[in-house]
Copies of this chain bind each other. A is one copy, B any other.
Amino acid sequence: MINLAVDCMGGDHGPRVTLAACRQFLNSHPDAHLLLVGKAEELAGFKHERVTVVPATEVVSMDDPVEIALRKKKDSSMRVAVQQVKNGAAQAAVSAGNTGALMAISRYLLKTLDGIDRPAIAFGLPNAKGSDTTMLDLGANVDCTAEHLLQFAVMGSALVSALKNTEAPSVGLLNIGEELIKGSEVIKRAGELLRAAGDAGNLNFYGNVEGNDTFKGVVDIVVCDGFVGNVALKTTEGVASMISGILKEEFKRNIFTKIAAIIAYPVLSALMKRVDHRRYNGAALLGLRGLVFKSHGSADAMAFEHALNRAYDAARNNLLDRVRSRIAAAAPLLLAAQTESGTSAP
Contact = CB atoms under 8 A, between A and B. Distances in A.
B128 A242 contact: yes
Interface string A183-217: 11101000000000000000000000011111110
Interface string A239-282: 11111011100110100110111011011001100110000000
B257 A267 contact: yes
Contacts of A232: 211, 231-232, 235
Contacts of A128: 241-242, 245-246
B184 A143 contact: yes
A246 B275 contact: yes
Interface of A: 126-128, 139, 142-143, 174, 176, 183-185, 187, 210-216, 224, 226-228, 230-243, 245-247, 250-251, 253, 256-257, 259-261, 263-264, 266-267, 270-271, 274-275
A139 B264 CA distance: 40
30 contacts: A127-B242, A128-B245, A142-B184, A176-B226, A176-B227, A176-B230, A187-B227, A210-B230, A210-B234, A211-B231, A211-B233, A212-B234, A213-B238, A214-B238, A215-B238, A215-B241, A216-B238, A216-B242, A224-B231, A227-B228, A228-B231, A235-B235, A235-B236, A239-B240, A243-B271, A246-B274, A251-B267, A256-B266, A257-B266, A260-B260
Nearest to A239: B239
Contact of A234 (B211, B247, B250): B211
A233 to B, nearest CB: 7
A266 to B, nearest CB: 7
Number of copies of this chain in the oligomer?
Answer: 2
A212 B238 contact: yes
A245 B217 CA distance: 13
Given A183-B227, A235-B232, A243 B213 contact: no
B243 A267 contact: no
Nearest to A185: B143
Contacts of A184: 142-143, 227
Contacts of A216: 238, 242
Nearest to A257: B267
Contacts of A212: 234-235, 237-238, 241
B250 A271 contact: yes
Contacts of A260: 260, 263-264, 266-267
A239 B241 contact: no
